[in-house]
Amino acid sequence: MAQQHTVLVLGAGSWGTALALVLARNQHNVLLWGHRAEHIAAIQTERQNTQYLPNISFPPNLTATTDLSQAVANADEIIVVVPSHAFRDTLEKIAPDLQSHARICWATKGLEYKTGLLLHDVARDTLGSHYPLAVLSGPSFAAEVAKDLPTAVTVASDNKDYAQALVRLFHNQNFRPYTSDDIIGVELGGAIKNIMAIAAGIADGLGLGANTRAALITRGLTEMVRLGLALGGHQGTFMGLAGLGDLMLTCTDNQSRNRRFGYALAQGDSIETAQDNIGQVVEGARAAQEVFRVAQKLQIDMPIVEQVASVLTKQCTAQDAVQALLSRQPKQERL
């Protein structure tokens, strides 16, 4: 068993809780922080996260807290799993209490709202260059991870020692992390796949069939690669767990809140109603406009992202978006 650490997981939603469970099962001392006092109080009392992952009992070495300052001061390793719109604010809050030897990894997927920055740029801007940084991403539904079902993910860092340390921290017989040095590619894969899942949900909600879904996934991957290469990502990353793997998972299974969101829009729900019914952050809805804005700036053709962004800014209906894609001129298949 790996050396025991005190690990702080920031974000008590489904994904943060699932990762906290993995770490606790690996015999680390784990603190799970959440900002809602009533939610954390319920977790402390019930010894499970009934709101997001019911019927999964917490091990004794997993403790929930709302005391951010004390938790950060006691942590050797920090795993950030807050929504992307709260990412910068969370890092700013923890910065004063970070131990000098602390290391920060995030499992947040998306771009920064309004700036379009990748999250490693936000982290560097907020924390400077002192702390080792990494991102964890890949095809992983929280409920299945919490149930200890086999899962493989990618851990990317420009610090090889830290990447290997994270593998040792998380690895067990049912949770297998692979390492990468392509932070940009892993981050983009995690952000763009959510947008494509909304598109796949829309297509399925309109009853367009399996052929359409397969085409969306394939052409969605092409768009992911186009932007990824333009921003400095590696093509191989997009063919791996954090790219194609996560894209396939999120576009084809209704555990994906992004897919369910798109399906609801196609069935006639408003954006607000669809979001409220899901009850958790739909990261693809936030990412679509940011990714499209970056693509426009770099003159990268991303028609699926463009149409999803148009639906979410209420410039067109789901049906209109599909028609716009179908009416594009035929051309040679290429990236």
| Residues whose CB falls within 8 Å of the CB of residue 86, separated by 6 or more in sequence, listed in order | none
Label each residue of the chain as H, E or C. CCCCCEEEEECCCHHHHHHHHHHHHCCCEEEEECCCHHHHHHHHHHCCECCCECCCCCCCCEEEECCHHHHHHHCCEEEECCCHHHHHHHHHHHHHHCCCCCEEEECCCCCCCCCCCCHHHHHHHHHCCCCCEEEEECCCCHHHHHCCCCEEEEEECCCHHHHHHHHHHHCECCEEEEEECCHHHHHHHHHHHHHHHHHHHHHHHCCCHHHHHHHHHHHHHHHHHHHHHHCCCCHHHHCCHHHHHHHHHHHHCCCCHHHHHHHHHHCCCCHHHHHHHHCCCCHHHHHHHHHHHHHHHHCCCCHHHHHHHHHHCCCCCHHHHHHHHHCCCCCCCCC
Residue 210 buriedness (CB in 10 A; 0-12 / 13-18 / 19+): exposed
Q: Is 193 a catalytic residue?
A: yes
91: amino acid identity, one letter: L
Q: Which amino acid is at 72?
A: V
Q: Which of 114, 193, 297, 314 is catalytic?
A: 193
Residue type, 207: G
CB 151 within 8 A of CB 136: no
On whether the CB atoms of residues 153 and 138 are closer than 8 A, the answer is yes
- Torsion, Cα 149 151 157 159, to 10 degrees, reads 70
Residues acting as catalytic residues: 193
